[in-house]
Amino acid sequence: MAAPARTNPSDFLKELSGRPVVVKLNSGVDYRGLLSCLDGYMNIALEQTEEYVNGQLKKKYGDAFIRGNNVLYISGSKTKK
């Protein structure tokens, strides 16, 4: 079955709401959690957040807010939270 055609990144990001994501920062740190909300400036709110540095779990947070100018990319995660 072919994946549905996406016309722009906004459609992709809307599909990720409420799902597990990986947010990679410019510093190289990864945050993994459930995408709660996202705005036009790429400011991100995550729930059940875990912080990974060099692939190692460093800390767990309940909610986390990430400023958009620090974000390198957002990716859908295959792991379930």
**Has residue 28 been placed in a domain?**
yes
**Has residue 22 been placed in a domain?**
yes
**Has residue 6 been placed in a domain?**
no
**Has residue 9 been placed in a domain?**
no
So what's the pLDDT on residue 78?
Answer: 74
- Number of domains the chain contains: 1
Q: Are 57 and 51 in contact (CB under 8 A)?
A: yes
Closest CA to 74 of 36, 56, 55, 60: 36
Query: What is the token pair recorded at 56?
Result: 């190692």
Residue-number span of the structural domain to which 64 is assigned:
15-76
Which CATH number characterizes residue 25's domain? 2.30.30.100
Would you say residue 4 has pLDDT above 80? no
**Has residue 7 been placed in a domain?**
no
Task: Summarize pLDDT for 10-45 with one digit per residue, the tens.
Answer: 777 788 888 999 999 999 999 999 999 998 888 999
**Has residue 67 been placed in a domain?**
yes
End-to-end CA distance of the chain: 26
In the numeric block, the tokens 């992709």 are attached to: 12
Question: Does residue 2 or residue 38 have the better pLDDT?
Answer: 38
Average pLDDT over the chain, rounded to whole?
87
**Has residue 59 been placed in a domain?**
yes
